[in-house]
Chains A and B, each alone.
Chain A
Amino acid sequence: MTFVAKPRTHHPRLPVNEIGLTRRDYEGSVSTLCAGCGHDSVSAAIVQACAELSMPPHRFAKVSGIGCSSKTPSYFLNKSHGFNSVHGRMPSVITGANLANRDLFCVGVSGDGDSASIGMGQFAHIVRRRINMLYIVDNNGTYGLTKGQFSATNDKGSTNKKGVPNLYEPIDLASMALQLGATFVARSFSGDKRQLVPLLKAGLRHRGMAFIDVISPCVAFNNHEGSTKSYDHLRQFDHNVVNADYIGDHDEITADYQPGTIEDVSMPDGTTLRLYKLEDSFDPHDRVGALNYVQKRQQEGEVVTGLLYIDPDASDCHEILDTVHTPLNELNETDLCPGADNLDAINASFR
């Protein structure tokens, strides 16, 4: 952490986006996480993604639970709504926010402890409910805030700083999300913003829940030899299957240097998501195939990253529930209270 705040002075030629803001306008207060924490890179990636999409910061609701990861909403989008909730309960709170005001952009940040242990039940059900949100897990496989115990996502056999191996099977949140019916599932690495930022942009534009499991090394407690969530391990065993590049209304499609076969996916808002498939045998529209592929590679010690599954046409919670288009918090008494005659009529229909 640092005591010195980042100066407001910025690069003299810092670009301004479509709504007149610079990237620096999307930042938050100075991070109190350890120097080199992967979570800070994730926050920086969120800042970059929101700025590049010219999204209005005041229309965001950022919600988190408890843990190092859950401190991070303070470090991005300081002009937005925020709620630091109870341990593992980010999904409930964000569900409430989204139901009350469907026009908000909801971003939930959680960690491997917050989502894979105490919040497991909440995680499972928010995936099922398809709340329109971006769900980010800053996954470092360790309880950093309590000084380095193994978390539920830590791989079996991976060692702690003292060399003691983990004895339990890991929970893979991306696989679970696939299995539970998520319509957008990705995995990325905090040390690779070229992959992470476009995925965040796609996730922010996806209708329904977009889940991104971000391997985000803990430099203090889980970045040693023997760890499977370290910078070095990820750089060696990262297996990238599909890169995504979000193309906005005004973005020029330039000649790209990325390899792979290209597939353009139309998003519900009329924009395009360009996919670069690096692995011929992998189809990001095949849920079962993706699940098998991820599990298989995992057995071989690899970490599959990129866009694992997308269903751009899926419906979100509000569509499933068939709620009105007006956000519920904007409905007035007349809208909400149809009057005694109508109530009588409704009651009569049940007799």
Chain B
Amino acid sequence: MIPTDIRNPDYFHKVVDCQWACPAHTPVPEYIRLIAQERYTEAYMLNWDSNVFPGVLGRTCDRPCEPACRRVRTEEKPVAICRLKRVAADMKGDIAAYLPRVPQKKNGKRIALIGAGPASLAVARDLLPLGYEVHLFEKDPVGGGMMRSQIPAFRLPIEVLEEEVDLILNMGVETHFGHEITSMKALLDEDYDAYFVGTGAPRGRDLDLPGRQEVDDYIHIGIDWLSSVAFGHTDSISGKVIVMGGGNTAMDCCRTSLRLGAESVTVVVRSAFEVMKASEWEKEDAMREGIPIINNRPPKEFVHENGKLKGVLFECVKPVEEDGRLKYVPSGEPDVFIEADHILMAIGQDNHCPWIERDIGLEFDKWDCPVLDDVTFQSTHPKVFFGGDSAFGPENIIWASAHAHQAAISIHLFCQGQDLKADRPPEGVNLVSTKMGVHEWAYDSEHDPSSRYIVPLVEKQTALANVKVEVELGFDAELGAAEAQRCLNCDVQTVFTESLCIECDACVDICPMDCITFTQNLDEDQLRQRLTAPAVNPEQDLYISTDLPTGRVMVKDEDVCLHCGLCAERCPTNAWDMQRSVVHVPQLGSFSE
């Protein structure tokens, strides 16, 4: 194998599994260390810089970082990254001094943002400090988008949301609330310098089954229903409720129904439990509240009598694996009838932009999604950019933040007359030694074998009595500090300097995870088998040195390294050093730029 080029920013970035998995590339280990040091405000701001809504995300994020966490591979359960983010948000002090300054004198460019959800707000935040005049158009009377309308208050208290939304609005956004854009053409005529569409995926899917039209009054589209609960238009639901669908919206619908007075709530899912779209913890939350989830039951018919809904008839299927994919075949059991007074339909949602005329040079593909460049987020109309769910379909808030950063860079380059790709700022990486003394490191190198700490919850009865009572109480300072210790500090990298190595084997002997081998160089497949512990995870890189004096190379399997620093501690010549990698992810107005 060719020696590893550690100057490539991606190499060490990839070792920080959580940060690499995060769409916004939030520097997770760094903020966890700040939490451990009780520097909550700084931890919060590091998050805010990168993902814009730490308080919101600390409660609602889809957490792609957690399954990626190295701790899953070295033990079992990941660090509770998301809950630690909430600790930073809950405990932070005054952040005013840390906020970017917005110039009084504008740079003369006007930007229109359509939709006041996370994507548009994040674009506004990135552009404002550079002197842009930002106009935000929203059909609702308030900002927040789906964070307000689709996430129930028992998961995300309204104060938390408003604090973070207002923070951005108060940076000087020209807001146009209650102003629905009905024609893109008309807006283009107003001649803004650039446009950003962040209108989400606002159309909930429906199911056209026999009986659908007859019982229209009893069937509600999940996201619309949640929105009407959020805005106070709906405050009760009666009788037996069936929630159809297996995603996070379905989980929110069933838990909300339970709080609004439903006699019983049942979630019925077409597919198997394991492949449901809902996050693991959201399924757990629903089940803990006593809501049954019935799987492998595709609906057949809405049963009604005299114009009133009686229930739903479901077919019984079973999953069969075929070519590694699940297929569903009839299980042979008779159809199942489940009684219902109301049905909440949470089977997916789509982009929907009927207000964008199709003759303005802005192309849509066959799925009715805008045709976009996946790096610049520019549409086929050069002035119009997209981000969040309206770009590539429903994702989640963290993706909206990530899209927004890229779109903001593109808008900035576009307004400055630069090339959106050639002039894009590059990624970078900085390495700083953490060695402070003979046995002192600037990070807590000792491995903490504790299991993941359980988050305290509000008492079930209290939770179910009020849709606005937040269920998770969050970690307190003590639990937060304990959980923070579980972080392996994967951004403190094992950096190897060939010219210093005397091949004494000390690092090989001390490594608790058998990560290091000195051997003759071979091609990757052979090498992976020849190591002290075979490297069976191809997703994780091998770190290869150049040739050493004996003709061998040092090979380190990054897979299960604990970043405990013992290799460096044991190295007599400092050939190993523990160096903190700071990945520079380009972003407008970021502190780190």
Q: Is A325 part of the contact surface with B, judged by Cβ < 8 Å?
A: no
A223 to B573, CA, bound (A): 12
Q: Is A136 part of the contact surface with B, judged by Cβ < 8 Å?
A: no
A34 to B565, CA, bound (A): 16
Residues of B within 8 A of A340 (CB): none
The size class of the interface chain A forms with chain B is 20 to 34
Chain B 429-447 per-residue mask, 1 if CB under 8 angstroms from chain A, else 0: 0000000000100000111
The answer to whether A7 and B503 touch across the interface, beta carbons within 8 angstroms, is no
The answer to whether B514 and A231 touch across the interface, beta carbons within 8 angstroms, is no
The answer to whether B449 and A9 touch across the interface, beta carbons within 8 angstroms, is yes
Residues of A within 8 A of B505 (CB): 41, 44, 190-191, 193
Q: Is B506 part of the contact surface with A, judged by Cβ < 8 Å?
A: yes
Residues of B within 8 A of A34 (CB): 572
Q: Is A250 part of the contact surface with B, judged by Cβ < 8 Å?
A: no
Residues of A within 8 A of B550 (CB): 235
A223 to B503, CA, bound (A): 12
The answer to whether A36 and B570 touch across the interface, beta carbons within 8 angstroms, is yes
Known: A2-B570, A4-B564. A11 touches B513 (CB 8 A): yes
Q: Is B88 part of the contact surface with A, judged by Cβ < 8 Å?
A: no
The answer to whether B512 and A7 touch across the interface, beta carbons within 8 angstroms, is yes
The answer to whether B533 and A36 touch across the interface, beta carbons within 8 angstroms, is no
Residues of A within 8 A of B75 (CB): 9
The answer to whether A2 and B569 touch across the interface, beta carbons within 8 angstroms, is yes
Interface residues in A1-60 by Cβ distance below 8 A to B read 2-4, 6-14, 24, 34-38, 40-41, 43-44
| Residue from A6, A24, A41, A217 with most neighbouring chain B CB atoms (10 Å) | A6
CB distance from A144 to the nearest CB of B (A): 13
The answer to whether B533 and A219 touch across the interface, beta carbons within 8 angstroms, is no
B571 CB contact (under 8 Å) in A9, A11, A36, A43: A36
The answer to whether B503 and A35 touch across the interface, beta carbons within 8 angstroms, is no
Known: A36-B571, A235-B550. A9 touches B562 (CB 8 A): yes
Q: Kindly report which residue of chain B lies nearest to residue A220, judged by CB atoms.
A: B572
CB distance from A70 to the nearest CB of B (A): 19
Residues of B within 8 A of A37 (CB): 506, 572
Interface residues in A211-245 by Cβ distance below 8 A to B read 217, 219, 223, 231-232, 235
Residues of A within 8 A of B536 (CB): 13
The answer to whether A41 and B560 touch across the interface, beta carbons within 8 angstroms, is no
Known: A7-B562, A9-B449. A14 touches B533 (CB 8 A): yes
Known: A7-B449, A10-B512. A191 touches B503 (CB 8 A): yes
A186 to B195, CA, bound (A): 79
Known: A2-B439, A9-B512, A36-B571. A41 touches B504 (CB 8 A): yes
CB distance from A175 to the nearest CB of B (A): 27
The B contact surface, by secondary structure, is loop
A217 to B502, CA, bound (A): 11
Known: A7-B447, A9-B562. A35 touches B506 (CB 8 A): yes
Q: Is B420 part of the contact surface with A, judged by Cβ < 8 Å?
A: no
A43 to B508, CA, bound (A): 12
CB distance from A83 to the nearest CB of B (A): 24
CB distance from A26 to the nearest CB of B (A): 13
Q: Is B290 part of the contact surface with A, judged by Cβ < 8 Å?
A: no
Residues of B within 8 A of A38 (CB): 504
B504 CB contact (under 8 Å) in A11, A12, A219: A219
Chain A 128-143 per-residue mask, 1 if CB under 8 angstroms from chain B, else 0: 0000000000000000
Interface residues in B409-457 by Cβ distance below 8 A to A read 439, 445-447, 449
B572 CB contact (under 8 Å) in A7, A219, A235: A219
CB distance from B448 to the nearest CB of A (A): 9
Residues of A within 8 A of B509 (CB): 40-41, 43-44
The answer to whether A4 and B571 touch across the interface, beta carbons within 8 angstroms, is no
Residues of B within 8 A of A232 (CB): 502, 549
Known: A6-B512, A7-B512, A9-B513. A40 touches B506 (CB 8 A): yes
Q: Is B203 part of the contact surface with A, judged by Cβ < 8 Å?
A: no
CB distance from B63 to the nearest CB of A (A): 22
Residues of A within 8 A of B510 (CB): 2, 6, 40
A162 to B143, CA, bound (A): 75
CB distance from A69 to the nearest CB of B (A): 16
Residues of A within 8 A of B445 (CB): 4
B506 CB contact (under 8 Å) in A4, A13, A36, A235: A36
CB distance from A230 to the nearest CB of B (A): 9
The answer to whether A36 and B502 touch across the interface, beta carbons within 8 angstroms, is yes
Residues of B within 8 A of A3 (CB): 439
The answer to whether A36 and B560 touch across the interface, beta carbons within 8 angstroms, is no
Residues of A within 8 A of B513 (CB): 9-11
A289 to B550, CA, bound (A): 31
A7 to B502, CA, bound (A): 25
Q: Kindly report which residue of chain A lies nearest to residue B565, judged by CB atoms.
A: A4
A256 to B504, CA, bound (A): 25
Residues of A within 8 A of B569 (CB): 2, 4, 35
A67 to B503, CA, bound (A): 24
Residues of A within 8 A of B73 (CB): 12
A35 to B514, CA, bound (A): 18
A41 CB contact (under 8 Å) in B449, B506, B512, B571: B506
Residues of B within 8 A of A43 (CB): 509
CB distance from B504 to the nearest CB of A (A): 4
The answer to whether A36 and B514 touch across the interface, beta carbons within 8 angstroms, is no
A235 to B503, CA, bound (A): 10
CB distance from B450 to the nearest CB of A (A): 11
The answer to whether A9 and B533 touch across the interface, beta carbons within 8 angstroms, is no
CB distance from B529 to the nearest CB of A (A): 13
Residues of A within 8 A of B549 (CB): 232, 235
Q: Is B74 part of the contact surface with A, judged by Cβ < 8 Å?
A: yes
The answer to whether A7 and B564 touch across the interface, beta carbons within 8 angstroms, is yes
Q: Is B566 part of the contact surface with A, judged by Cβ < 8 Å?
A: yes
Q: Kindly report which residue of chain A lies nearest to residue B550, judged by CB atoms.
A: A235
CB distance from A128 to the nearest CB of B (A): 34
Chain A 275-316 per-residue mask, 1 if CB under 8 angstroms from chain B, else 0: 000000000000000000000000000000000000000000
Interface residues in B551-593 by Cβ distance below 8 A to A read 560, 562, 564-566, 569-573
CB distance from B48 to the nearest CB of A (A): 34
Residues of B within 8 A of A14 (CB): 514, 533
A36 to B562, CA, bound (A): 20
A36 to B576, CA, bound (A): 12
A3 to B569, CA, bound (A): 9
Residues of B within 8 A of A12 (CB): 73-74, 560
Residues of B within 8 A of A36 (CB): 502, 504, 506, 570-573
CB distance from B201 to the nearest CB of A (A): 39
Interface residues in B286-340 by Cβ distance below 8 A to A read none
| Residue from B503, B508, B509 with most neighbouring chain A CB atoms (10 Å) | B509
A269 to B571, CA, bound (A): 40
CB distance from A176 to the nearest CB of B (A): 28
Additional A-B contact list (11), CB under 8 Å, known A4-B439, A232-B549:
A2-B566, A2-B570, A4-B569, A9-B447, A9-B449, A9-B562, A11-B513, A11-B514, A12-B74, A41-B504, A235-B549
Q: List 8 A-B contacts (CB under 8 A).
A: A2-B566, A4-B445, A8-B449, A9-B75, A9-B512, A40-B509, A40-B570, A41-B505
Residues of B within 8 A of A (CB): 73-75, 439, 445-447, 449, 502-506, 508-510, 512-514, 533-534, 536, 549-550, 560, 562, 564-566, 569-573
Residues of A within 8 A of B (CB): 2-4, 6-14, 24, 34-38, 40-41, 43-44, 190-191, 193, 217, 219, 223, 231-232, 235
List 5 A-B pairs, minimum CB-CB distance, nearest first.
Answer: A36-B572, A44-B509, A7-B447, A219-B572, A36-B504
